[in-house]
A and B are shown apart, each in its own frame.
Chain A
Amino acid sequence: MSFAWAKQYEPQSAFTKWLDEKLPLPRLVYNAVGAGYPVPRNLNYMWNFGVLAGFFLVVQIVTGVVLAMHYAANGLVAFATVEHIMRDVNYGWMLRYAHANGASFFFIVIYMHIFRGFFYSSYKAPREMIWLLGVVIFLLMMATAFMGYVLPWGQMSYWGAQVITGLFSAIPLVGEPLQVWLLGGFAPDNAALNRFFSLHFLLPFVIAGVVILHIWALHIPGSSNPTGVEVKQESDTVPFHPYYTAKDGFGLGVVLILFTTMIFFLPNALGHPDNYIEANPLSTPAHIVPEWYFWPFYAILRAFTGDLTIPFTGIILVQAKLLGVIAMFGSILIWFILPWLDKSPVRSGHYRPLFRKFFWFGLIPAMAVLFYCGGAPAEQPYVVISQIATAYYFLHFLVILPIISQIEVPKPLPFSITEAVLGKDTAPEAPRTGSVDGGDAGTATDGALQPAE
């Protein structure tokens, strides 16, 4: 899986030659993230976040496994074992703060990664499968993060579990039995805590599995790039190692500075004080909010305050509660059809003047507003503001994006990545059509230069 000019792995020592015949693992690594993977030469720092997300998955698994050595998933002692980790276990405070802030950083880098995908249309053919797997990873991350947040068994843990499993009770007919089945009781209790612990331990490994599929799917067409023009020739690429291992290494250093600053100086800045109060099934905190990374979706949930009725008859078609739940899940599930909603053959936002306006002045402000409103109390004016932003969010994907891709006149694309970087491309053989590259979904526009299997 690489371009024809990719360097081939050549084992040097007798041992690596022996190993290459029996289990070509070093060859796999060489071709995946080594010198054997040619990558467009013009990637900017927005292309760092995939590697960073992988790094934080590892951080979460390592710190999580060691925390599990000291934690007990029982409603009677769970809160106390977390305090035990904080006070008694050697470096327990550091490991727990790394795990809690690691979750936030995982979401930060994933949101940057998704943002990159939106702006540069990384979801377009031939990379739809990478995008779809990415959305699956994001959904798994949300489930994992939610269940992890329940484990300390504080007030926010408990009431978060109550509210989020309560979402399922909105489903007609099967909703309430489904909630009882999910919780293993009529309210969150030992049964729920224990199964959340089990699944919270399992899901990161499922995520790791889907990440492998995500990278596998990436290596078939190869990485996209900021121009959105496909790789045509060897001068368009550089080997992943050492060029992008170095660039990603620099980005990792910057992120680690921020991460350690949070752990050591602001460890609870992103948390809620209420979660240091032990779970109390008889008292709800005055202001239940999820962790910051769920705020935009929580705002969409709360934006639906009225039932969907047939006008003037009073017949309720869909209750407000169910509408909110459908919209909240729909706001992410809509990403699954994004590759087919945005039909523009041009990928990069840099060459799409109309798309760029709606992206910067429509989608991004709408998401920022939803983010802010999701963390605010459920009162006016936040409810009306989140209703407007929710309406725009769905309009953007379902109406604006398809229309833009029909009417927009894109700017001329560079002939090749080399031309975009150097200002000229002296490639002798290719005809200079200057046409839009990588057009219709699923068709190879320049078959001769597709990566060879």
Chain B
Amino acid sequence: MATETAATTETFAEDGVRRRDWIHIAALGTAGVGAASVLFPLISQMSPSADVLAASSTEVDVSAIAAGQAIKASFRKQPLFIRRLTPDEIKQANEVDPSTLRDPQTLAERTKEGHEDLLVTMGVCTHLGCVPLGAAEGENRGDFGGYFCPCHGSHYDTAARIRKGPAPKNLHVPDYEFKSDAVIRVG
């Protein structure tokens, strides 16, 4: 301030606002908007690219799955479990009071009407993303007869609902629809 000349000091208005302040604010504001708009593509490029998103639906023929059997398919490069439940497994799932569950859902809410025996879930543990065991023949199906994640010990029941262990949610049921009685389209 001490070095300011008379010429610059006289531009101060009574309230200490200089005319030059406006151009400082305008210049920095413009540069800030410019920087922010450059930042956007830099952040957005990290999101899934168009080809990854395009490969995000899968059709699966489920007619060959017998009761009590499960298959592993692939959806968005992640495992997809499709299980044909036995009457006994359906009974076990319906015997549980949903309000006692960590993530309360009934079996009917997790399947499609008219196809209550077909359970379609992601094969991705909701804890940290491991693939639970139980889809293949002879694998450990956990304490509740559904799926068991070996990484950190999450047990899922016959409706693939979380019953024990660290996972917070039931195995995710992706969006899908029946194209015919034999074929489902996931995604």
Contact = CB atoms under 8 A, between A and B. Distances in A.
A187 B168 CA distance: 19
Nearest to A280: B131
Interface in A255-312: 281-284, 286-288, 302, 304-305, 307
B52 A184 contact: yes
A288 B129 CA distance: 12
A191 B49 contact: yes
Contact of A319 (B123, B165, B168): B168
Contact of B47 (A169, A184, A189): A184
A307 B168 CA distance: 9
Contact of A189 (B77, B129, B153): B77
Contacts of B167: 321
Contacts of A195: 46
B67 interface: no
B76 A284 contact: no
Contacts of A186: 48, 52, 56, 76-78
- Which residue, A166, A184, A284, A319, has most C-beta atoms of chain B within 10 A? A284
Contacts of B131: 282-284
A27 to B, nearest CB: 33
Contact of A159 (B47, B130, B165): B130
B1 to A, nearest CB: 27
Contacts of A286: 150
A319 B52 CA distance: 31
Interface in B75-101: 76-79
Contacts of B153: 378-379
Nearest to B150: A286
A281 B46 contact: no
Contacts of A152: none
Contacts of B78: 186-187, 281
**Which of under 10, 10 to 19, 20 to 34, or 35 or more describes the interface residues of B?**
20 to 34
Contacts of B128: 162-163, 166-167, 321
Interface string A335-379: 000000000000000000000000000000000000000000011
Nearest to B124: A187
Contacts of B123: 282
A163 B151 contact: yes
A278 to B, nearest CB: 15
B112 interface: no
- Which residue, B49, B72, B74, B153, has most C-beta atoms of chain A within 10 A? B153
Nearest to B77: A187
Interface string A163-195: 101110100000000001110111101010001
A185 B52 contact: yes
A147 interface: no
B18 interface: no
A143 to B, nearest CB: 15
A153 to B, nearest CB: 14
Interface in B123-178: 123-124, 127-131, 150-153, 165-168
A281 B74 contact: yes
Interface in B35-78: 46-49, 52, 56, 72, 74, 76-78
Given A163-B130, A288-B151, A321-B167, A281 B79 contact: yes
Contact of B46 (A163, A184, A283): A184
- Which residue, B46, B72, B152, B167, has most C-beta atoms of chain A within 10 A? B152
A195 B49 CA distance: 13
B124 to A, nearest CB: 8
Given A159-B130, A162-B129, A305-B166, A180 B77 contact: no
A324 interface: yes
Contacts of B77: 185-187, 189, 281
Nearest to B52: A185
A60 B3 CA distance: 52
Contacts of A324: 166
A156 interface: no
B48 A185 contact: yes
A182 B43 CA distance: 10
A386 to B, nearest CB: 12
- Which residue, B48, B127, B129, B150, has most C-beta atoms of chain A within 10 A? B129
Contacts of A185: 48, 52, 76-77
B168 A189 contact: no
A286 B74 CA distance: 20
B74 A321 contact: no
A378 B154 CA distance: 11
A163 B129 contact: yes
B18 to A, nearest CB: 36
A282 B74 contact: yes
Nearest to A195: B46
B47 A180 contact: yes
Contacts of A6: none
A308 to B, nearest CB: 12
Contacts of A165: 129
Interface of B: 46-49, 52, 56, 72, 74, 76-79, 123-124, 127-131, 150-153, 165-168
23 contacts: A159-B130, A162-B128, A163-B129, A165-B129, A166-B128, A167-B128, A184-B46, A184-B48, A186-B76, A187-B76, A187-B124, A281-B74, A281-B77, A282-B123, A283-B131, A284-B131, A288-B130, A288-B151, A319-B168, A321-B167, A321-B168, A378-B151, A379-B153
Given A167-B128, A187-B76, A282-B79, 11 more contacts: A162-B130, A181-B47, A184-B47, A185-B48, A185-B52, A191-B49, A286-B150, A304-B166, A319-B168, A321-B127, A378-B151
Interface of A: 159, 162-163, 165-167, 169, 180-182, 184-187, 189, 191, 195, 281-284, 286-288, 302, 304-305, 307, 319-321, 324, 378-379
